[in-house]
Amino acid sequence: MSDSAGSSSTVTACAMLVDAPVVPLLFRPLRIPPSGPTTSNFFIADAGSKGAGMFAARDIPAGALILVDRPVVVVPSSVSSSWKREAFDALLPRISQKSRDALLALANCHSLSKCPVIEGIALTNAFQIALPTPPLAAPQEYGGVFPDISRANHSCGLNTAVKWDLASFSVSMYSLRDVRAGEEIHNQYIDVLASRAERRAQLARYDFECMCVHCDLPDEAAVARSDAARAELRNWRHLRPRLLPWVNDMCRADDTIIVSNLRALELIVQEGLYGMQVPFIEEIALSYAVLDDEPQFRVWAQKVVDLCLGQDPVRAVKFAGWIANPRSYKQWGWRAKQRLLLDNKKSSLDIDFSIPW
């Protein structure tokens, strides 16, 4: 392991504990981080029993960039415990006073008697970021601790997504749905498609029992309903009808893909899992394209554009191009044409059995 902050006398904004062969891969010119929003979208305030939390400073529309943040420390997700402790503590003198203040202000859910302070803060706040893997090396997982994004508390329903960008060494947080001024902004710490019992087990390492609206349910029937919805979404990719085979399969109903994806969206809304909706909305838009239904195509394609503008601009631009010129989509109206051909063939084979007297 190596500390990429360099010699012990070097003080930087971020110190890293990374495998030595990773270090040269990190020392390349960093792009300027994507510029954050011009006015602050959030504030940090008391979130009751959760400690501090992040809240929306104004109404934030779905798909908007909320903030851009850079880590103050980067640590491996798993290292041998024998030397981990001193290595974590050695990071502190290597970061600037500003970064140190930000790091030490973060929550620590581990008791100091069991876990030195920097390790405890890292275990409480770090979330996974991807660093380059040296050739022939096994991939190693790393976590970044961030001054602002690490303040976001967990919820099992999502109102934001975070996107790590290695080139700018920064993470951007986007809204997944409209967030009202004053509403708490959440991050996702664990696999939210797991059952409530599994989610609670996974969250035990953060030392809290989740009481978000998706966990604090009135009775066991509500828990079973929520667990079933999440399991259905988790199994979706194995069970759902596929768009491409459907395009040519005239034995299947025209609304097969639309009905199936609307069902997924219903479950997503029920469970507040907004981060998952884009692929389903996209398939509905493309189904309408294949069915030559321009008004509906425009409605659904516009939803893709609105949701992707910030975090997936390539997809947003692609759909915006199709909205501008729907027939440039290569399979535009394909099923409608096939249906017409079939109907024409059928009518040419029709025998008139009516008796003319």
Ligand X SMILES: C[S@@+](CC[C@H](N)C(=O)[O-])C[C@H]1O[C@@H](n2cnc3c(N)ncnc32)[C@H](O)[C@@H]1O
Residue 69 CA neighbour count, 13 Å, CB half: 26
What's the rounded Cα separation, in Å, for the pair 227 and 240? 19
What's the rounded Cα separation, in Å, for the pair 73 and 68? 16
Quote the least distance from Cβ 205 to ligand X, whole Å.
9
Please, which residue, 145 or 304, has the CB nearer to ligand X? 145
Does residue 151 interact with ligand X by CB under 6 A?
yes
Quote the least distance from Cβ 58 to ligand X, whole Å.
21
Quote the least distance from Cβ 196 to ligand X, whole Å.
13
What's the rounded Cα separation, in Å, for the pair 177 and 76? 32
From the list 153-161, 262-270, 286-294, 345-353, the region that binds ligand X by CB under 6 A is 153-161
Does residue 160 interact with ligand X by CB under 6 A?
no
Please, which residue, 102 or 210, has the CB nearer to ligand X? 210
From the list 91-99, 151-159, 256-264, 271-279, the region that binds ligand X by CB under 6 A is 151-159
Please, which residue, 161 or 210, has the CB nearer to ligand X? 210
What's the rounded Cα separation, in Å, for the pair 141 and 266? 34
Quote the least distance from Cβ 127 to ligand X, whole Å.
8
Does residue 153 interact with ligand X by CB under 6 A?
yes
117 by Cβ neighbours in 10 Å (0-12 / 13-18 / 19+) ranks as middle
Does residue 125 interact with ligand X by CB under 6 A?
yes
Q: Site size for ligand X, by CB under 6 A?
A: 19
Please, which residue, 2 or 128, has the CB nearer to ligand X? 128
Quote the least distance from Cβ 63 to ligand X, whole Å.
24
Does residue 53 interact with ligand X by CB under 6 A?
yes
The closest alpha carbon to 190, from 234, 139, 128, belongs to 128
Q: Torsions phi, psi of 82, nearest 5?
A: -60, -40
Among 23, 52, 231, 320, binds ligand X (CB under 6 A): 52
The closest alpha carbon to 268, from 139, 169, 176, 141, belongs to 176
Does residue 159 interact with ligand X by CB under 6 A?
no
Among 92, 107, 265, 323, binds ligand X (CB under 6 A): 107
Within residues 322-341, the interface with ligand X by CB under 6 A covers: none
Please, which residue, 52 or 92, has the CB nearer to ligand X? 52
* Pairs from 48-55 (Cβ < 8 Å, separation ≥ 24): 50/153, 50/208, 51/107, 51/153, 52/107, 52/151, 53/151, 53/152, 53/153, 53/184, 53/185, 54/148, 54/149, 54/151, 54/152, 54/153, 54/184, 54/185, 54/186, 55/182, 55/183, 55/184, 55/185
From the list 55-63, 207-215, 241-249, 309-317, the region that binds ligand X by CB under 6 A is 207-215
From the list 72-80, 147-155, 264-272, 300-308, the region that binds ligand X by CB under 6 A is 147-155
From the list 29-37, 92-100, 102-110, 254-262, the region that binds ligand X by CB under 6 A is 102-110
- Buried/exposed 308-327: b ≥16 CB within 10 Å, e otherwise: bbbbbeebbebbbebbeebe
Q: Torsions phi, psi of 43, nearest 5?
A: -140, 155
Binding residues (CB under 6 A) for ligand X: these are 50-53, 106-107, 109, 124-125, 150-151, 153-155, 206-208, 210, 212
